[in-house]
Structure 1
Amino acid sequence: MKKKESTFSSFISPILVLVLICFVVTFALAMAYGVTKPIIDKNNLKESNKAKSELIPEAKGEFKNYDGKLVVVQKNKIYVTEASKAVNGSGVVVTVNSNSYGGTLTAMIGIDNKGKITNVKIMSAQDTPGIGTKAQDPKHLGQYKGLSDLGSETIKDSKSKVKYITGASISSQAIHESVFAGLKQYKAMGGAK
């Protein structure tokens, strides 16, 4: 004849053990997050400043975030996520998200203190390799250097000062819209000073 187990040992005890394990694991994760978050934030800032320095070398890696209103060209489609001014007033770097063929495209646009584009850097995109990514080619992006006006918000417009990549027109347009929004943000900020 088997002995009857008590309600405590068969039901309550395992529940208490699981709750205790969950508490200990949650506490350990919170402690690990508290220790690693400042390190991660510092590394992210360092990487961000490195990318910004590639766009505005005269800034010498010193930028301050712009805390004013960020430009939205089209809600949830083309919008500025961050703008930073070089501490020495040499330029502005604007980060813009836009919709591309493969999803969200994130671009950083460097603009000097005269309002001219210094460079465009694609930070992330999910466009088709070998087709949509042709629009990210340095030769294509180089068309923007020195421009302070794109001529048109649409790259396929005859007034556009930049040519699109055949077969990658959606990706080309996404980059063009990002640069357009970057220039708009620059003007909204009152320039680099």
Structure 2
Amino acid sequence: MKELVRYGFILGIICFLASGILAVVNAVTEPRIEIEKEKEERLALKEVMPDSGNFEPVSKDGEFLYYKAYDSSGRLNGFVVKSESKGYSSDIEAMAGLGLNLEITNVKILSQNETPGLGTRVTEPKFLGEFKGKDLASLSEVDTITGATISSSAVINSVKDKISELKETLLKEVKNAK
């Protein structure tokens, strides 16, 4: 019996030390992870709005809404929206660039953990390229991916829903910029 208590005590100490080490590693790596996420987001902004040089985040009540995109001369030339929806096996986060006429310039998948070989196909250029030049009314023309219908529909619908949600606000921004 004494040996059982001793093993339990040793195991408890090992677990305590392991959790302490994990906490320290998390505290050390968390700022680096945030810096990398910000860097990836800046690259994604340039990818979805390649003609823009500056991006200004717009928030309301502390909640991020969208980015205003400005060209090199400081004129508003579009917007960037972020959307998230549930795919087949994970949340899918997407970013879409919009011109002043609210036509999509490009779409990029920021994060997903879908089934490899199926759901991950939403990141392929062929699928994402179908969004280019589409507006809210023509997004239904984007084809879903065979074998990844849930994942591709999630991307299409999340982008469509986000543009619908912000449409009036973005059109006011365009009107005010002129």
**Displacement after TM superposition at 1:136 (Å):** 2.4
Report the structure number with the largest CA radius of gyration.
1
Map of 1:187 onto structure 2 = 167
Structure 2 partner of 1:12: none
- The residue type paired with residue 98 of structure 2 is I
Query: Does 2:88 correspond to 1:101?
Result: yes
The whole-number CA distance in structure 1 between the counterparts of 2:49 and 2:58 is: 16
Deviation at 1:181, TM superposition (A): 2.2
Q: Tell me if the contact between 2:57 and 2:64 (Cα under 8 Å) persists in the aligned partners.
A: no
Residues of 1 paired with 2:115 and 2:33: CA distance? 30
Question: What's the counterpart of residue 67 of structure 1?
Answer: 59
Match of 1:133 in 2: 120
Q: Deviations along 1:70-116, whole A, 9 cap, x unmatched?
A: 9xxxxxxxxx9641111431111111110000111000011111211
The residue aligned with 1:48 is 41
Specify every segment of 5 or more residues in structure 2 that has no aligned partner in the other structure, as ranges. 1-19
Structure 1's consecutive aligned runs of 4 or more residues displaced over 4 angstroms after TM superposition are 39-44
Q: What SS does the aligned partner of 2:164 have?
A: helix
5+ residue gaps, structure 1: 1-24, 71-79, 153-159
| 1:165 paired residue number | 145
Higher share in helix: 2
Q: Is the Cα–Cα contact under 8 Å of residues 58 and 64 in structure 2 kept in the other structure?
A: no
Distance 1:161 1:185 in 2: 20
Alpha-carbon distance in 2 for matches of 1:139, 1:149 = 20
Residue 73 (structure 2) pairs with residue 83 (structure 1): no
Question: What is the total number of aligned residue pairs between the two structures?
Answer: 148
C-alpha RMSD over aligned residues = 3.2
Question: Does the Cα contact within 8 Å between 1:95 and 1:106 map onto a contact in 2?
Answer: yes
On the 8 A contact 1:109/1:182 being kept in 2, the answer is: no
Whether the 8 Å CA contact 2:84–2:92 is kept in 1: the answer is yes
Tell me how far apart the structure 2 counterparts of residues 119 and 109 of structure 1 sit (CA, whole Å). Answer: 6
Q: Flag the structure with more relative contact order, 1 or 2, with Cα contacts below 8 A and sequence separation at least 6.
A: 1
Deviation of the 1:118 alpha carbon: 0.5
What do the CA deviations read for 1:39-79 (whole angstroms, capped 9, x no partner)?
A: 8766644432221011111211x111111379xxxxxxxxx
1:57 maps onto 2:50 in alignment: yes
Q: Give aligned-pair identity as a percent.
A: 34
SS across alignment from 2:51: helix
Q: Which AA in structure 2 matches 1:137?
A: E
Q: Distance in 1 between matches of 2:152 and 2:85?
A: 11
Paired residues of 2:122 and 2:151 also in contact (CA < 8 A): yes
Q: TM-score, normalised by structure 1?
A: 0.64
Greater shift after overlay, 89-98 or 176-185? 176-185
Residue deviations 1:138-173 (CA, integer Å, cap 9, x gap): 111111100112447xxxxxxx21111111100111
Q: Secondary structure at the match of 2:130?
A: helix
Q: Secondary structure at the match of 2:146?
A: coil
TM-score w.r.t. the length of structure 2 is: 0.69
